[in-house]
Amino acid sequence: MATEIIKVPDLGGAEEVEVIEIPIAVGDTVALDDTLVVLESDKATMEIPASKAGKIIAILVTEGQRIDKEGVPLVEIEVSGEAEQTASVPEEKTSAVSAAPTKPTETPAHKKSAATPAASETDAVADAGAEDVPGDGDQDRITSRGADQKTAATKAPTQPQSVDAPPAANGKSLADGDIYAGPAVRQLARELGVELRNVSGTGPRGRLLKDDVHGFVKQRINAPQSGGAAVPGVPDIDFGQFGEVEQVAMTKIGKLTAANMHRSWLNVPHVTQFDDADITELEAFRQSLKPEGEARGAKMTPVPIILKACAVALASNPVLNRALHSDGEHYMQKHYIHIGLAVDTPRGLVVPVVRDVNKKTLWQLAAEVAELADKARDGKLTVNEMQGGCFTISSLGAIGGKGFTPIVNTPEVAILGVSKAHIKPLWNGREFEPRNMLPLSLSYDHRIVNGGDAGRFMTELVALLGDIRRLLL
Ligand code: CAO
């Protein structure tokens, strides 16, 4: 049996190429024109085809290896007897891609007829399902395969049903343009029924790798079943190409917060409504408490008062003090009022829970808020102190801002966002009066809380903060 060594062709002006994919293994049988190695230069991807049909007996390069000259041996093939034929146009396929022209070229008719049926079918279907490729030099590969598009159209339906294939909003195929993947990845994607246009590439310059396809399938299998489309992945970007960057490990709290926020964002149909509470009198009262606070060693900030007002509003609007049961048939009505308080710490966001808010005095709440916030900032909260909340308050009042849409802290069903109070002109029926207005935003889970429920809660809260004597009623 004769052997043949396939070598790096003319690099077409490229100074260096990298071996980015070896879609064959020793022992594989390859047909004429099957891709053996994929090389990549700065501008183009080059598929090096088998110039003879036969069996792979040695692979002489490794993925990631850089090559800077023509003639480097790539693969050794034991040529099968009946296949001792030359490639249809090997020099065309390699030189065309390596030359990296930007203009598509016609595929000669003799090339089409020389391809084995198996090869032409594979290529044609590949292009029907997932169009090529971004690199300038890939134009030739696209064009040569594109010649079989008609065949592709008739053969594509025999391929496995793809996991998903969402059309672009404009009705144009999302595959137009930038799918950057080699033949082995395309082959794998076809076998698994994955549309490459939906997979994010993590290889160099966003190239799709086999791991990306496997990861995509794994993600789809683990994703909760729903009627909607999949959440598209966000591609990793090499930010280093734009400026200096540094990769920093997330804190444990940061990772937990990210997971919780994502879960809530995906599961909860959020609605947020806004109102302003007139806290002019409340602020006057709060300021008057300062000397007493100093004597007690406690500080009466707005938060303890908002906590108390929320407890009263929750008691009269119990819909916001529920949790959905996972069976979809029940909800849990809570008969206690524990309220979580988002605390900003150097390690991230934590939410200690103030228990039985409805049973505590404002001074008790002020002392507890200060203690929990200190413990949170010192990293000394116990797990118990962060469990059991019915509702959460996120106050950015001391930081600033006119309003925001907080994310419900599931399995709770509502959260109150508090922004910075501002003096605003308010019409009192005769004239504009300067009033201290506190912006409030209430996000809720619309699966269980209706707009009316939330509206009643918010209206009561605004009334309570507008006249805190109502807390006694
Ligand atoms: N409008 C105007 N001023 C406000 C205010 C508001 N809504 N809320 C508080 N303030 C002022 C207070 O009047 C007080 O000032 P004085 O000392 O002059 O009275 C000062 O801010 C107190 O601020 P504080 O932060 O020490 O205390 P707090 O009780 O308002 O808040 C806590 C406690 C733990 C909620 C807060 O420190 C905190 O961590 N907030 C951030 C929460 C957060 O990150 N939320 C986002 C979560 S989602 O990413």
Instruction: Give the per-residue pLDDT at 39.
Output: 85
Distances in Å between the Cα of 305 and the Cα atoms of 89, 312, 426, 448, 456 are 82, 11, 23, 27, 19
Report the distance separating Cα 100 and Cα 135, nearest Å.
8
Mean pLDDT lowest among 29-43, 444-458, 459-473: 29-43
Counting from 1 in the atom list of ligand 1, the atom nearest the Cα of 372 is 34
Instruction: Report CA(372)–ligand 1 centroid distance (Å).
Output: 13
CA distance 56 to 19: 17
286 has a pLDDT exceeding 50 = yes
Residues near 16 by beta carbon (within 8 Å), at least 6 away in sequence: 41, 66, 67, 68
Atom of ligand 1 nearest to the CA of 439: 7
| Ligand 1 atom nearest residue 283's Cα | 13
List the residue whose alpha carbon is closest to atom 11 of ligand 1.
Answer: 398
Separation of CA 387 and ligand 1 centre (Å): 22
Take atom 5 of ligand 1 and give the residue whose Cα is closest: 397
One-character DSSP codes across 287-341? HHTHHHHHHHT----HHHHHHHHHHHHHHH-GGGGEEE-TTSS-EEEP-S--EEE
Task: Summarize pLDDT for 400-420 with one digit per residue, the tens.
Answer: 999 999 999 999 999 999 999
**Any ligand 1 atom below 6 A from CB of 341:** yes
CA atoms of 231 and 419, how far apart (whole Å)? 31
- Give the count of beta carbons closer than 10 Å to the beta carbon of residue 317: 20
Residue 130 has pLDDT above 90, yes or no: no
Ligand 1 pocket member 395 (CB < 6 A): yes
**Cβ 303 under 6 angstroms from ligand 1:** yes
Rounded Cα distance, 8 and 95, in Å: 10
- Given the structure tokens 């029926």, which residue do they identify? 429
* Cα separation values, 144 from 118, 141, 307, 466, Å: 16, 5, 69, 74
pLDDT at 135: 32
pLDDT score, position 106: 33
Q: Which is it for strands 391-395 and 339-341: parallel, antiparallel or unpaired?
A: parallel
Asked about 446 being catalytic, the answer comes back as: yes
Confidence (pLDDT) at 178:
60
In this predicted structure, which of 34-43, 157-166, 442-451 has the lowest mean pLDDT?
A: 157-166
CA of 457 to the centre of ligand 1 (A): 22
Q: How many helices (H) and strands (E) does the chain have?
A: 13, 19
Q: Is the CB of 397 under 6 A from ligand 1?
A: yes
Q: Ligand 1 in contact with 302 (CB < 6 A)?
A: yes
Q: Of the given ranges (213-222, 264-273, 444-453), which has the lowest mean pLDDT?
A: 213-222
Tell me if 394 CB under 6 Å of ligand 1: yes
Residue 418 Cα to ligand 1 midpoint, Å, equals 9
Strand order in the sheet with 35-40: 45-49, 35-40, 17-21, 66-67
Distance CA 385, CA 67 (A): 60
Query: In which residue are the tokens 């008739």 written?
Result: 154
Residues listed for the chain: 473
Of residues 210 and 435, more confidently modeled: 435
Query: What DSSP assignment string belongs to 170-234?
Result: TSS-TTSS---B-HHHHHHHHHHT--GGGS---SGGG-B-HHHHHHHHHHHHHSPP-SSPPPPPP
290 Cα–ligand 1 center, Å: 16
Which pLDDT belongs to residue 214? 86
pLDDT in tens, 174-207: 343 467 777 778 888 888 888 887 888 777 667 7
Instruction: From the candidates 110, 325, 338, 446, give the one annotated as an active-site residue.
Output: 446
Instruction: Note the pLDDT of residue 11.
Output: 82
Q: Check if 349 has its Cβ closer than 6 Å to any atom of ligand 1.
A: yes
Question: Which amino acid would we find at residue 215?
Answer: G
Phi-psi region of 42 (alpha: psi -120 to 50; beta: other; left: phi over 0): alpha
408 touches ligand 1 (CB under 6 Å): no
In the chain, what percentage of residues exceed pLDDT 70? Answer: 77
Span 20-54, pLDDT tens digits: 888 899 999 998 888 899 887 766 678 898 988 99
Q: What does the block give as tokens for 338? A: 């524990």
Lowest-pLDDT range, 232-236, 282-286, 320-324?
232-236
377, 413 contact by CB (below 8 A): no
CB of 79 closer than 6 angstroms to any ligand 1 atom: no
Comparing 159-168, 233-242, 246-255, the range with the smallest average pLDDT is 159-168
Q: What is the tens place of the pLDDT at every residue in 378-405?
A: 999 999 999 999 999 999 999 999 999 9
**CA 303 / ligand 1 centre spacing (Å):** 7
Distance CA 182, CA 207 (A): 8
Q: Is 157 helix (H, G, I), strand (E, B) or coil?
A: helix
395 CA from centroid of ligand 1 (Å): 6
Mean pLDDT of 214-225: 76
Q: How confident is the model at residue 263 (pLDDT cuts 50, 70, 90)?
A: very high
List the structure tokens of 473. 């009623």
User: Do 302 and 438 touch, CB atoms closer than 8 A?
Assistant: yes
Q: Is the CB of 268 under 6 A from ligand 1?
A: no
pTM of the model as a whole: 0.59
Q: Measure the CA–CA gap between 289 and 366, rounded to whole angstroms.
A: 12
Which of 300, 303, 310, 422 for a ligand 1 pocket mutation test, highest count of atoms within 8 Å of Cβ?
Answer: 303
Calculate how far, in angstroms, residue 265's C-alpha sits from the geometric centre of ligand 1. Answer: 25
User: Ligand 1 within 6 A of 261 CB?
Assistant: no
Q: How far apart are CA 187 and CA 34, in angstroms?
A: 12
Please calculate the CA angle 303-305-306 and round it to the nearest 5 degrees.
65
Compute the distance between CA of residue 209 and CA of residue 203 in angstroms, rounded to an integer. Answer: 6
